[in-house]
Chains A and B, each alone.
Chain A
Amino acid sequence: DVKVTQSSRYLVKRTGEKVFLECVQDMDHENMFWYRQDPGLGLRLIYFSYDVKMKEKGDIPEGYSVSREKKERFSLILESASTNQTSMYLCASSLGSWGYTFGSGTRLTVV
């Protein structure tokens, strides 16, 4: 079965900390995505990557950066976490538009 694995299910961090969210896929997909999911706002795209070392800003990139050094791994970085970044973060991967596979999510709380 195709899998997207996010390293943490729950995470609690302090304001100002640097936070890394890791995502690994085992499907050799070219595209990877980071979304945040908030009640009433749906899923909003933060960043995506369509190739190794390639990245493109999504709709809400402010306060975030990403890294994709290997095809299977896509990391989301919060340089200095703030309370308004408390959210559920979802990683996804795809091969073209044919199928998007989502991870189980990381619920991040910034205190």
Chain B
Amino acid sequence: AQSVSQHNHHVILSEAASLELGCNYSYGGTVNLFWYVQYPGQHLQLLLKYFSGDPLVKGIKGFEAEFIKSKFSFNLRKPSVQWSDTAEYFCAVTSAGSGGSNYKLTFGKGTLLTVNP
């Protein structure tokens, strides 16, 4: 069974600081990886996803993530955060296979990011 581990429960930064949120997954096969964001009171939104190809993936709002297969990691980064980035961030994984239970999306426990102005 697949699982996802997010290292930090709560991260507090000042505006303009750089951000890196850790994500490690456990699965024996090829995976698809995702980062989602949930702003206060809003529904989950996709930030970026990795299926194959270039391991450095760029998403919306200046976020990027790097897939390091040897480390089973998919860390999220942003060079300079803004107050509006305050939200909860979730890493998620599916099997890269097709059909049925391969589409099961498994989430980490989330990291709450607070950006102080």
Contacts and interface: CB of A to CB of B under 8 A. Distances in A.
Interface stretch (B11-19, B60-68, B70-78, B94-102): B94-102
Contacts of B103: 31, 48, 50, 94, 96-97
B106 interface: yes
Contacts of B108: 42
A70 B109 CA distance: 32
Given A42-B109, A45-B105, A50 B99 contact: yes
Contact of B106 (A41, A45, A50, A103): A45
A100 B49 CA distance: 11
What interface size band does chain A fall in? 20 to 34
Contacts of B46: 99-100
A100 B101 contact: no
B9 A40 contact: yes
Contacts of A90: 43-44
What interface size band does chain B fall in? 20 to 34
A66 B108 CA distance: 24
Contacts of B25: none
A58 B104 contact: yes
A89 interface: no
15 contacts: A35-B107, A40-B9, A40-B109, A41-B109, A42-B107, A45-B106, A50-B99, A50-B100, A50-B101, A56-B100, A58-B104, A96-B103, A97-B103, A100-B105, A105-B43
Given A33-B105, A42-B110, A105-B43, 14 more contacts: A40-B109, A41-B109, A43-B90, A43-B107, A48-B103, A48-B104, A50-B101, A50-B103, A56-B104, A58-B104, A90-B44, A92-B105, A97-B103, A103-B43
Interface of A: 31, 33, 35, 40-45, 48, 50, 56, 58-59, 90, 92, 94, 96-97, 99-100, 102-105
